[in-house]
Structure 1
Amino acid sequence: MTMSRGVIDHVPLSTILPQASTADLEAVQRASRTVDAARAGEGPLEWEWSLAHAVFPGAGPSTPVVFGADVVVDAGGGDGLEFLLQALWTEDGRLAVSAAVNVACWCETDHATHDVDAIELAVGTGTSIGQAFEAGAERLVGWLADPHDADYWRDRAALPPRWER
Structure 2
Amino acid sequence: MSMDRGTFDRVPVRALFPRLSAAAVESLEHSARTVDAARPRGAAAVWEWAPEHAVFTGPQSRTWVILLLDVVRPAGVSDWLEFLLQVGWTDQGRHEVTASVNVGCWCETDHGTHDVDALGFAVDDDVPLARAFEACAERMAGWLAEPRDADFWRAREGLPPRRP
> For residues 156 and 61 of structure 1, what CA distance do their matches in structure 2 show?
32
Runs of 5+ unmatched residues, structure 1: none
TM-score w.r.t. the length of structure 2 is 0.94
- CA 1:41/1:161 → structure 2, altered by over 3 Å: closer, same or farther? closer
The C-alpha deviation readout for 1:85-119, integer Å capped at 9, x for no partner, is 11111222221110000111111111111110001
1:142 is matched with 142
Q: State the distance in 1 between where 2:56 and 2:120 align.
A: 17
Question: Which 4+ residue blocks in structure 1 deviate beyond 4 angstroms?
Answer: none
Question: Pairwise mapping of residues 54-73 of structure 1 onto structure 2 (< 5 A)?
Answer: 54-73=54-73
- Quote the residue 2:53 is aligned against: 53
Report the Cα offset of residue 25 of structure 1: 0.9
Instruction: List gaps (5 residues or longer) in structure 2.
Output: none
Deviation at 1:84, TM superposition (A): 0.6
Distance 2:103 2:93 in 1: 28
One-letter identity of the residue aligned with 1:38: A
Checking the alignment, whether the CA contact within 8 Å between 1:57 and 1:64 is kept in structure 2 is: no
**Over aligned residues, Cα RMSD in angstroms?**
1.5
Shift of 1:18: 1.4
Query: Structure 2 vs 1, CA of residues 64 and 28 (structure 1 numbering), >3 Å: closer, same or farther?
Result: same
The answer to whether the Cα contact below 8 Å between 1:87 and 1:98 also exists between their aligned partners in 2 is: yes
What is the percent sequence identity of the aligned residues? 52
In structure 1, distance between residues paired with 2:161 and 2:44: 31
The residue aligned with 1:104 is 104
In structure 2, what is the equivalent of residue 83 of structure 1? 83
Q: Matches of 1:95 and 1:66 in 2, distance apart?
A: 9
Cross-structure match for 2:118:
118
Aligned length: 164
Specify the SS of the correspondent of 1:62. Answer: coil
